[in-house]
């Protein structure tokens, strides 16, 4: 399986993270995603006319939506990451997969604005991102009341992987996570998973890392 | 199951169409979705802070993403609409569920601009909509080469229901479907399904209806 990948793309990181967690080896093909980069080359536009990455290629299958790639990896190797398959849980997984698009459109675009000077109304993007983070926080609090630590279930699913990167990188777009204790707790639970990988080069991802010594001292 | 519904919303129509096709009776609760309407009322904002419809309520389950509602209805009553569950087919279903958000953001927003004077750069929205329709057309042509008439399989799935309304209503946003024979053929195949329902009040949905006599004459 070949992944057309850009190391600083949170959407590509979703795929790398999922693959790492379930032990899938990807054939990484780095793409220059800066403005004017090769994601607009004829080769890549033939694979994905939308000009976006990640792109996963496996034989005659080409997937260009990160949520679809998560479904594919999980369905192939680790179906427990799709949820139990019961109607309510399947619906909750899809609710957050669809919702993740709102994180990308708001926090992701704010991040590109701040980091790559992509044009946009930064105030409006941050307001949309804040609204989305409030919904994510409320969803996690509700799950907590049901005794569940993750977005759709008591164990992590592709829904968590779809929402985690753009939420965790909100500060890159100028939106703080200070007001969202449930999101921070959930981020720690994801980071504590066996085989979790960080997104390289992103300092802020490290700031929320579990600090067992300090926590033990506080307890 | 209660559906907060607006008769002229293509996203609500997705849910009504799915329910009709699989024989689920919904308790419809009409919502005034015009600017300043009750979708911004405290009652509805408590259900969905994003202020969007459809909203499906079933006991303690509240779903606010149309794709998640499609998953829920199908998983409960007619799981064959989720696809076969094989990894490639599951991934293709998700690819088009995610893609459907791009139809909504482009063609859907162009339609709101034309019909409800929602602000926006209509030229840019139409260009994005055209790009999305080209991808949909290409996807259907590719499926045709595999001998399949629908987006993810040889039989219809929730992926088709998620993409159909905004594609079929493209002309409402000023984007013609003339250049997309595969989309027109696929629309006819969907309209020919047993228990298919139209979206009331939308004349253009009728224009592409199957006309068996004329087709027989041409054959």
**CATH value at residue B155:** 1.20.1050.10
Whether residues B85 and A98 touch (CB distance < 8 A) is answered with no
Total structural domains within chain A: 2
Which pLDDT tens digit goes with each residue over B116-171?
Answer: 888 889 999 999 999 999 999 999 999 999 999 999 999 999 999 999 999 999 99
Shortest Cα distance, chain A CAs vs residue B11, angstroms: 13
Whether residues B50 and A87 touch (CB distance < 8 A) is answered with no
Helix residue ranges, H only, A104-179: 109-116, 122-145, 158-168
Q: Same domain for B75 and B116?
A: no
Q: What is the CATH number of the domain that holds B56?
A: 3.40.30.10
Q: Find, in chain B, the residue whose alpha carbon is nearest to that of A56.
A: B91
- Asked which of B44, B79, B114 is the last residue of a domain, the reply is B79
Per-residue model confidence (pLDDT) at position B214: 42
Q: Which of A49, A68, A87 sits opposite B98 (nearest CB)?
A: A68
Q: Same domain for A90 and A192?
A: yes
ipTM: 0.91
Say if CB B208 and CB B184 are below 8 A apart. yes
Domain contains A207: no
Separation CA B113–CA B35 (nearest Å): 12
Q: Same domain for A73 and A126?
A: no
- Report which DSSP code applies to B151: S
Q: Same domain for A53 and A154?
A: no
Question: What CA dihedral angle connects A26, A55, A106 and B161, to 10 degrees?
Answer: -120
Q: Which of B82, B85, B131 sits opposite A49 (nearest CB)?
A: B131
Domain contains A62: yes
One pLDDT digit (tens) per residue for chain A, 219 residues: 999 999 989 999 999 999 999 999 999 999 987 777 777 788 899 999 999 999 999 999 999 999 999 999 999 999 999 999 899 999 999 999 999 999 999 999 999 998 888 888 999 999 999 999 999 999 999 999 999 999 999 999 999 999 999 999 999 999 999 999 999 999 999 999 999 999 875 655 545 544 444 443 343
Question: What CA dihedral angle connects B154, B159, B162 and B164, to 10 degrees?
Answer: -30
Q: Same domain for A168 and A178?
A: yes
Shortest Cα distance, chain B CAs vs residue A87, angstroms: 5
Q: Same domain for A181 and A74?
A: no
Q: Same domain for B116 and B144?
A: yes
Give the residue among B124, B131, B143, B87 at the shortest CA–CA distance from A52.
B131
Domain contains A203: no
Q: Same domain for B207 and B140?
A: yes
Domain contains A211: no
- Asked which of B20, B54, B79 is the last residue of a domain, the reply is B79
Question: What CA dihedral angle connects A97, A102, A108 and A110, to 10 degrees?
Answer: -170
Range of the domain at A187: 81-196
Q: Same domain for A64 and A113?
A: no
Which pLDDT tens digit goes with each residue over B42-97?
Answer: 889 999 999 899 999 999 999 999 999 999 999 999 999 999 989 999 999 999 99
- The string over A165-193, giving b where at least 16 C-beta atoms fall within 10 Å of a residue's C-beta and e elsewhere, is bbbbbbbbbbbebeebebbbebbeebbee
Whether residues B65 and A92 touch (CB distance < 8 A) is answered with no
Separation CA B51–CA B9 (nearest Å): 14
Tokens matching residue B172: 């409402």
Interchain contact A147–B (C-beta under 8 A): no
Domain contains A181: yes
Per-residue model confidence (pLDDT) at position B58: 97
Question: What CA dihedral angle connects B153, B161, B129 and A30, to 10 degrees?
Answer: -50
Q: Same domain for B73 and B116?
A: no
Q: Same domain for B74 and B109?
A: no
Q: Same domain for B21 and B93?
A: no
Domain contains A39: yes
Say if CB B188 and CB B180 are below 8 A apart. no
Tokens matching residue B106: 């482009």
Interchain contact A127–B (C-beta under 8 A): no
- Asked which of A48, A79, A110 is the last residue of a domain, the reply is A79
Other beta carbons within 10 angstroms of residue A158's beta carbon come to 30
């Amino acid at each position: 399986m070949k992944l057309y990948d850009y190391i600083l793309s949170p959407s590509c990181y979703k795929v790398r993270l999922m693959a790492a967690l379930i032990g899938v080896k990807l054939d990484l093909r780095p793409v220059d995603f800066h403005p004017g980069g090769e994601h607009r080359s004829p080769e890549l536009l033939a694979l994905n006319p939308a000009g976006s990455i990640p792109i996963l290629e496996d034989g005659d299958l080409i997937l260009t939506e990160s949520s679809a790639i998560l479904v594919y990896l999980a369905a192939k190797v680790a179906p427990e990451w799709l949820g139990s398959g019961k109607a309510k849980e399947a619906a909750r997984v899809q609710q957050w997969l669809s919702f993740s698009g709102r994180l990308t459109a708001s926090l992701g675009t704010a991040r590109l604005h701040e980091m790559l000077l992509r044009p946009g109304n930064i105030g409006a993007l941050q307001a949309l991102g804040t609204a989305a983070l409030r919904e994510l926080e409320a969803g996690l609090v509700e799950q907590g009341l049901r005794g569940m630590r993750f977005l759709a279930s008591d164990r992590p699913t592709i829904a968590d992987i779809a929402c985690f990167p753009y939420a965790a990188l909100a500060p890159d777009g100028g939106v703080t996570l200070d007001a969202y204790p449930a999101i921070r707790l959930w981020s720690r639970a994801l980071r504590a998973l066996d085989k979790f990988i960080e997104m390289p080069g992103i300092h802020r991802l490290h700031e929320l890392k579990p600090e067992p010594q300090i926590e033990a001292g506080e307890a």
